[in-house]
Structure 1
Amino acid sequence: MKLKKTLALGLVAAMAASFTACGSTAAESAADSTASGEAAAEAAADAPDGDGDPTTLTVAMECAYAPYNWTQSDDSNGAVAIRGSSDYAYGYDVMMAKKIADALGQNVQIVKLDWDSLIPAVMSGDVDCVIAGQSITAERAAQVDFSDPYYYASIITLTKKDSQYASAASVADLAGATATSQLGTIWYDNCLPQIPDANILPAQETAPSMLVALSSGACDIVVTDRPTGQAALVAYPDFTLLDFGGGDNDFQVSDEDINIGISMKKGNTALKDAINEVLATMTADDYNTMMDEAISVQPLSE
């Protein structure tokens, strides 16, 4: 996974060192710490909540997009109950939601919605935020505010090991392939049209249905992001993953296509700032470790 985020930890450390060099006293440091804690508490209190409970962070996701999020029947591995359901949600997005809620002193409530309903739920105030593997596109950013990226998702192609495209080394080598991907994603809208003479099938409603289409032979290839592809290899051992390595031979995508962010209602600066503070404490290794853990415990990997 290509993680490109420049974290703020170095700046924080430098600022702390400069305050020490200026001779701040222990009492002043304690006062600063108290003020910082009060500011964080105020941010948590000011952040609106989808169910009207200020102690709860309400988070929407598909619960059908492993390894980012999925549905399971129990609370194993720390899964969180889905609102209005006897099922639970887990995955990378749930792990991230719990980390953010812990920092805000809140509980997490997961709301299961289909992909096209996620942004409307934020805009209406039904949920506080969406953590669902959303790319930070200009179109979406015109409707909602986004946090800093919480993941960077490089683009890959999946095909079967015995496919004529299994040895493809570039997008050009996929010429003529019958292809599909998930509805409303940059994979379908931006990437598939770049394949020469592709036979592009209708988009699939969900990531699982996209994978079923490939497994059943309805298509030759699907285009998705690396975490989804890595998770698919566990569930479908007859799949192979093609990574064209970037550059001219790869799908041409912008940063907004692969930067994955957390969306919230326009103007909710308190929540946005609080989320960004949490993300600023995380490293590339933290992101990768969390994603590896999510892949290892997804239901189809057991």
Structure 2
Amino acid sequence: MKLKNTAALALSAVLALGLTACGSAASPAVDPSVPDGDGDPTTLTVAMECAYAPYNWTQSDDANGAIQIRDSGDYAYGYDVIMAKKIGEALGQNVQIVKLDWDSLIPAVTSGDVDCVIAGQSITAERAAQVDFSDPYYYASIVTLVKKDSKYADAKSVADLDGATATSQLGTIWYDNCLPQIPNGNILAAQETAPAMLVALNSGACDVVVTDRPTAQAALVAYPDFTLLDFGGGENDFQVSQEDINIGISMKKGNTALCDAINKVLSGMTADDYNDLMDEAIAAQPLSE
């Protein structure tokens, strides 16, 4: 995820998933009361970066049930697309994926261009002041990536990263909240995307990247020279709040009908369901950026 922020939600919520490819089968019959945000109740229009594996990424074909991106010949897939398809199926809607950069996601919801954002967003108070959030559809713990031959490869705590050169993705709690906790850290400029931060680590531009566990697990497949450091979530770890690790679906303020409908889908899922679907996405992700 990007771990990005809002009110803490109990670690018992569930996830959702959504459904049919853009431009594939004929639109299903839709009840006019179906919750909507963008003026088209036949379609669940979902914004994401399509560049944040394993949550979402861009690929050239519809393998694994990927959905064609609006105004593009490319397709989107990943955990967020799986979730979007499940939600769309439950609501009797087709799913359309809109590819946007991170900073354009919330404006797209508030302007009514899309129904919702499913993009690994943390449910932070700052974000919740602009949009409404569903219950969490994933809980993402924070971990650290280093190269196997790094002098930090045996680090057991944040304190052991003393003096490390570090970076992470722009606009995330990894960059804004976690990196400043590294003692004497040399904090580089934030990277525009998750792939860019991984390239920075791989190239030797930095010693350390801080991210969430799914992103790190996906990175280990693409970059076998990386190793994952998990400091256990206690006093030796990065100090974050529940709102930093609860990942939700955002929609326009006041769209309670859509929020309630999504939460109903999520309530039928368990933590094991989330993890199984994330494992599915990690296995399907492209092995190169």
Per-residue CA distance 1:82-109 (angstroms, 9 max, x = gap): 0000000000000000000000000100
The reply on whether 1:217 has 2:199 as its aligned counterpart is no
* Mapped partners of 1:250, 1:211: distance in 2: 21
2:189 alignment partner in structure 1: 202
Q: Please, which of 230, 246, 262 is the counterpart of residue 275 of structure 1?
A: 262
Letter in 2 for 1:48: D
Q: Please, which of 129, 132, 138 is the counterpart of residue 145 of structure 1?
A: 132
* Mapped partners of 2:40, 2:132: distance in 1: 21
CA contact (8 A) 1:4 1:152 kept: no
1:47 alignment partner in structure 2: 35
2:272 alignment partner in structure 1: 285
CA contact (8 A) 1:49 1:56 kept: no
* Mapped partners of 2:132, 2:199: distance in 1: 33
Q: Please, which of 230, 233, 237 is the counterpart of residue 246 of structure 1?
A: 233
Letter in 1 for 2:202: S
* TM-score of the pair, normalised by structure 2: 0.89
Post-superposition shift, 1:284?
1.0
What secondary structure, in the 3-state scheme, does the structure 2 residue paired with 1:253 have?
Answer: coil
Letter in 1 for 2:35: A
Post-superposition shift, 1:54?
1.3
Post-superposition shift, 1:163?
0.1
* Mapped partners of 2:280, 2:97: distance in 1: 20
* Mapped partners of 2:63, 2:10: distance in 1: 32
CA contact (8 A) 2:76 2:97 kept: yes
Instruction: Give the gaps of 5 or more residues in structure 2.
Output: 1-8, 15-29
CA contact (8 A) 1:58 1:129 kept: yes
Show the 5 A alignment for 1:85-96.
Answer: 85-96=72-83
Letter in 2 for 1:166: A
Kindly report the root-mean-square deviation, in angstroms, between the aligned alpha carbons of the 2 structures: 1.5
* Mapped partners of 2:13, 2:117: distance in 1: 22
* Mapped partners of 1:75, 1:107: distance in 2: 15
Post-superposition shift, 1:299?
1.3
The structure with the largest alpha-carbon Rg is: 1
1:115 alignment partner in structure 2: 102
Post-superposition shift, 1:6?
2.1
Show the 5 A alignment for 1:55-134.
Answer: 55-134=42-121
Per-residue CA distance 1:102-151 (angstroms, 9 max, x = gap): 00000100000000000010010000000000000000000000000000
Identity %: 83
Structure 1 moving runs of 4+ over 4 Å: none
Per-residue CA distance 1:3-56 (angstroms, 9 max, x = gap): 973259xxxxxxxxxxxxxxxxxxxxxxxxxxxxxxxx76x7342243x32110
Letter in 1 for 2:95: V
CA contact (8 A) 2:90 2:265 kept: yes
CA contact (8 A) 1:7 1:281 kept: no
CA contact (8 A) 2:51 2:193 kept: yes
Post-superposition shift, 1:288?
0.5
Higher RCO, Cα 8 Å, sep 6+: 2
CA contact (8 A) 1:159 1:220 kept: yes
Letter in 1 for 2:139: Y
* Mapped partners of 2:266, 2:35: distance in 1: 17
Letter in 1 for 2:240: V
CA contact (8 A) 2:13 2:137 kept: no
* TM-score of the pair, normalised by structure 1: 0.85
* Mapped partners of 2:282, 2:79: distance in 1: 8
* Mapped partners of 1:222, 1:259: distance in 2: 20
1:187 alignment partner in structure 2: 174
What secondary structure, in the 3-state scheme, does the structure 2 residue paired with 1:249 have?
Answer: coil
1:178 alignment partner in structure 2: 165
Q: Please, which of 265, 272, 295 is the counterpart of residue 252 of structure 2?
A: 265
* Mapped partners of 2:138, 2:213: distance in 1: 11
* Mapped partners of 1:287, 1:80: distance in 2: 20
